[in-house]
């Protein structure tokens, strides 16, 4: 008699919709089931309160120090570059962010592909080397780079900041892309080769498009790590300001509401971008389901 052998993964068939968790009998909520949403809800609240606070205080009619609520005003929003150095610091952060993201994503993606798809001696060592920057506290990373720059008598500034940022971002990019590469069926690349595609062609036509979501996520992660980084930047920037550095330094004097404006702006922008991405992919997925 013939035996049926299932392939290891169902061949690209859409996953069946799993049953929903939650109360089954009428509306009777058992304590255990209510506990998770309640804690989660409180946790989300906890997460977002300081953000709400930051956004709220961007509308504050503050004087020198934006610590006490005085009144609602749109002044800061109308004049976001009003406070000295705010926009300069912001621009610097963006420049550093873009530069480090591009470089770190490129280097990290190549590393991730090599680590997952190839078998070579020293693979565990490379894995370890990639993991080490993630497991080193920022203080140590910053101090180490500073020590090296000092001993080489390199001028601290934009370049050293970018170098530092790329260094700690690579590990995160590798981890993110690795997960995506591992979930890619290697039979696809074999099929491409079987269909006369040279390795180069196979990479660009098959591997890269399928990796793109992972690479995009890694790039997003790298940018947000770079933009928000303070400690390593502080060690390696000299007189060059970035946005977090500016905020930290002015914390003593009094942070101008413009800083809150920029922060809120970035928050809303990021939120919109990611939500839009989610909505678009949900719509596309829904359209695919309906065929």
- Of 23, 72, 190, 204, the one binding another protein (CB under 8 A) is 190
CB of 171 to another protein, least distance (A): 9
User: Which residue number, 19 or 239, has a Cβ lying nearer to another protein?
Assistant: 19
- Of 34, 131, 154, 241, the one binding another protein (CB under 8 A) is 131
Residues constituting the chain: 291
Judged by CB under 8 A, the number of residues near another protein is: 147
Q: Is 67 in the site for another protein (CB under 8 A)?
A: yes
- Other C-beta atoms closer than 10 Å to the C-beta of 170 total 25
Q: Show contacts with another protein in window 90-129 (CB under 8 A).
A: 106-108, 110-111, 113-114, 116-120, 123, 126-129
CB of 92 to another protein, least distance (A): 13
Give the span between the Cα atoms of 94 and 91, in whole angstroms: 5
What are the tokens at 200?
């180069």
- Give whole-number Cα distances, 70 to 55, 57, 60, 73, 79, in Å: 15, 10, 6, 9, 18
Asked if residues 254 and 170 have their Cβ atoms less than 8 Å apart, the reply is no
Three-point CA angle 235, 256, 240, nearest 5°:
25
CB of 28 to another protein, least distance (A): 14
What are the tokens at 133?
């920057």
Q: Is 140 in the site for another protein (CB under 8 A)?
A: yes
Q: Show contacts with another protein in window 231-270 (CB under 8 A).
A: 231, 234-235, 243-244, 247-248, 251, 255, 259-260, 263-264, 266-267, 269-270
Q: Is 18 in the site for another protein (CB under 8 A)?
A: yes
> At what angle are helices 86-117 and 208-227 packed, to 10 degrees?
140
User: Which residue number, 43 or 74, has a Cβ lying nearer to another protein?
Assistant: 43
CB of 271 to another protein, least distance (A): 5
How far does CA 98 lie from the centroid of its chain?
13
């Amino acid at each position: 008699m013939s035996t049926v052998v299932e392939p290891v993964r169902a061949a690209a068939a859409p996953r069946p919709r799993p049953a929903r968790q939650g109360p089954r009998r009428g509306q009777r909520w058992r304590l255990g089931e209510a506990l998770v949403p309640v804690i989660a809800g409180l946790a989300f609240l906890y997460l977002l309160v300081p953000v709400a606070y930051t956004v709220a205080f961007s509308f504050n009619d503050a004087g020198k120090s934006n610590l006490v609520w005085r009144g609602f005003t749109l002044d800061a929003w109308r004049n976001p570059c009003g406070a000295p150095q705010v926009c300069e610091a912001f621009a610097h952060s963006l420049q550093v962010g873009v530069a480090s993201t591009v470089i770190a994503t490129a280097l990290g993606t190549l590393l991730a592909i090599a680590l997952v798809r190839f078998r070579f001696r020293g693979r565990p060592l490379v894995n370890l080397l990639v993991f080490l920057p993630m497991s080193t506290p920022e203080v140590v990373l910053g101090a180490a780079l500073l020590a090296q720059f000092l001993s080489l008598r390199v001028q601290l500034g934009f370049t050293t900041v970018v170098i530092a940022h790329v260094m700690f971002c690579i590990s995160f990019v590798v981890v993110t892309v690795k997960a995506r590469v591992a979930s890619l069926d290697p039979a696809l690349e074999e099929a491409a080769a079987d269909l006369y595609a040279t390795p180069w062609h196979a990479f660009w036509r098959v591997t890269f498009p399928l990796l793109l979501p992972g690479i995009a996520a890694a790039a997003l992660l790298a940018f947000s790590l770079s933009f928000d980084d303070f400690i390593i930047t502080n060690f390696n920037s000299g007189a060059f300001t970035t946005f977090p550095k500016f905020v930290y330094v002015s914390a003593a004097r009094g942070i101008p509401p413009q800083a809150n404006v920029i922060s809120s702006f970035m928050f809303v922008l990021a939120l919109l971008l990611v939500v839009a991405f989610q909505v678009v992919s949900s719509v596309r997925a829904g359209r695919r389901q309906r065929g």
